[in-house]
């Protein structure tokens, strides 16, 4: 009798911008893939970033991620991203 040992595929994602984060998240969710994510910057997110100014959190960079769309909301929720007060005022799409 032979025994087959299944090992997880190893995948490297280079770049922790929005595309890299989405790819790593999707691959890791499969369960049969081991994902390593590399980012050259000191933080993930690419051009999407927030900065504090005068007691407010300001979003800088591209705003395409913030456009309405159920997939974006689900992705942000699954990553545990806090929703800014101005987005919390309108309900997310279902």
- Given a cut of 80, whether residue 73 has pLDDT beyond it is no
In contact, 67 and 94? CB cutoff 8 Å: no
Q: What are phi and psi of 77, to 5 degrees?
A: -65, -45
pTM over 0.85? The answer is no
Domains of the chain (ranges plus CATH)?
Answer: 10-88 (3.50.50.60)
Q: What is the pLDDT of residue 89?
A: 57
Q: What is the pLDDT of residues 25-49, one digit of tens each?
A: 999 999 899 999 999 999 888 888 8
Write down the H helix ranges in 1-94.
Answer: 18-28, 70-78, 85-88
Extract the tokens encoding 45.
Answer: 């997110």
pLDDT class of 13 with cuts at 50, 70, 90: very high
In contact, 39 and 16? CB cutoff 8 Å: yes
78/71 Cα distance (integer angstroms): 10
């Amino acid at each position: 009798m032979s025994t087959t040992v299944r090992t997880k595929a190893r995948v490297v994602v280079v770049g922790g911008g929005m595309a890299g984060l989405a790819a790593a998240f999707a691959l890791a969710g499969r369960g049969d893939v081991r994902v390593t994510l590399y980012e050259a910057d000191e933080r993930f997110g690419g051009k999407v970033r927030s900065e504090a100014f005068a007691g407010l959190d300001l979003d800088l960079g591209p705003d395409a991620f913030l456009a309405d769309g159920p997939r974006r909301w689900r992705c942000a929720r699954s990553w545990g991203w806090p929703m800014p007060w101005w987005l919390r005022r309108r309900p997310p799409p279902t």
